[in-house]
Amino acid sequence: MLDKFQGREPKYYDIFTGLFVAILLISEVTSIKLISVAHIQTAGAIILFPIAYIFSDIMTEVYGYARARRVLWIGFGAVILQALVLMAVQYMPPAASWHFQKGYDLQNAYEHILGFVPRISLASVLAYWAGGFVNDFTLAKMKLLTKGKMLWSRTIGSTVVGQAVDSFLFIGIAFYGVIPTSIVIQIALTQYVLKVIYETVATPITYFVVNKLKKSEGLDVFDYHTNFNPFHFRVEDEAS
């Protein structure tokens, strides 16, 4: 097993980065709609967003905390850019030919749906920033404690901690004052439980991908000497 990148770029890191950012942005928009699953209310992002944590676990496990942290910051920037563009478009004067279509006020519809995205984005940025770093930090530290064994314990364990921070911050910021507080708490709890179950069920897939990726990349980073400061953006060959 290799612990250093040895001056080369890993083969699949950019693919995971691109997919991670795409999942994050799609989740932003789908979070706007509350859906009912077996009469339980939850945000629509539950379909896709938990995969972001699985990706984060895989990247931390294979490439190390420093590179996973870099991806988190890239996603952070992408979410902010999306929010700013959606807000700019919202406040630009609508074209006369677009404003009303088949009796619908499209500008009003845009403001009620996509106009809600900036608040969703703020909630997501704060929640995922906090939850994501807690998740990756927990996994990296547990990998050292377990000496790289029992992958399931750190993928599930990091999710239990990280998703608690993420779920309650996100739902609280996004929907407090919009819907009754009791529903906000119920949705947060539902999100949390479903995400943990999602991660647990996906454990065999995570094992398969991690093992294949480690073998293909020739990497298995242990963060013994990594700078765990979440504000440290530069990737270095710190791990050994």
Q: Which residue range is the domain that position 39 belongs to?
A: 13-217
Provide the pLDDT for residue 155.
92
How confident is the model at residue 2, as a pLDDT?
A: 44
Degrees, nearest 5: CA angle 44-25-143:
90
The residues with which 231 forms a beta bridge, in sequence order, are: none
As given in the structure block, the two tokens for residue 167 are: 């779920």
Q: Is residue 41 part of a domain?
A: yes
How many percent of the chain have pLDDT more than 70? Answer: 92
Residue 46 has which token pair? 């539950």
**Does some domain include residue 69?**
yes
**What are 165-201's pLDDT values in tens digits?**
988 898 888 888 878 888 888 888 888 888 899 889 9
Number of domains the chain is built from: 1
Assigned domain for 36 exists? yes
Residue 223 included in any domain: no
Q: Quick check: is 222 in a domain?
A: no
Q: What is the CATH number of the domain that holds 157?
A: 1.10.1760
pLDDT tier for residue 9 given thresholds of 50, 70 and 90: confident
Which of 40-44, 69-73, 104-108, 228-232 is predicted most confidently? 69-73
Q: Average pLDDT in the 13-33 region?
A: 90
